[in-house]
Amino acid sequence: MSGNVQLLADTLAAAKAEDRAALIAYLPAGFPTVDGGIAAIKAVFDGGADVVEVGLPHSDPVLDGPVIQTADDIALKGGVRIADVMRTVREAHAATGKPVLVMTYWNPIDRYGVERFTAELAEAGGAGCILPDLPVQESDLWREHAGKHGLATVFVVAPSSKDERLATITAAGSGFVYAASLMGVTGTRASVGAQAKELVERTRATGTALPVCVGLGVSDAAQAAEVAGFADGVIVGSAFVKRLLDAPDEAAGLAAVRELAGELADGVRKRG
């Protein structure tokens, strides 16, 4: 491994060595503005996040809940472009030295050009990409270029994924496996189901050495601790975005996401 994909692997391994789950935060680029989004990522890292996923806003975010859809809409109306996503990755990584990935649907990459996208993401210091709607059997071109540029390819698995498909995905992926344990859209949930734990166990049963990180709508420290009891990483998105949406001004929003990151960072150290 080279470059920032190694940084990602080292970061997840360090959390495991501390007998805790990693805290992975998600924030869309360009929300509330490009500069504001970069500041929010820095605040989340400052609060205790280990890794940040930068969302590439999409006009039809079919897998995202209403909170992230609202933020994406704000970013798109603000004119966010892929260049702004790359700038967000570059500045967030340069300021913190922490691993930053991009989470995006396939269509924007396909239109932009795979070689161009992977080259620019690597140049910006990105650790890799999470591709929720790219079928593993159609991923050869992406993985070829991602590998050439030292980028992780993170695939998403769901409770509906059959065991054979899980094995194919874990063999093809790198960085970590994103276990989306709720069927349908993401978003905060009042409680954590047993479905997530079962999905993690089934994914690990493929024999993969990749960490299995869970995204299912965690919104507080208690839920983070519960998921940390069985997952290698806890992924939180909507709860951070909601703090920014609900804040009366940017300074209050930054304080709110920093505070939430601190609470969640405590939670992942308390494994439920």
List the catalytic residues. 53, 64
Alpha-carbon gap, residue 271 to 19, rounded angstroms: 9
Q: What is d(CA 29, CA 38) in angstroms, rounded to the nearest whole number?
A: 8
Q: Are strands 128-130 and 177-180 parallel, antiparallel or unpaired?
A: unpaired
Query: Strands of 51-55's sheet, edge to edge?
Result: 152-154, 128-130, 100-103, 51-55, 22-28, 233-236, 212-215, 177-180, 156-157
123 vs 92: CA distance, rounded Å: 13
Our CA dihedral for 65, 256, 228, 93, rounded to 10 degrees, sits at: 90
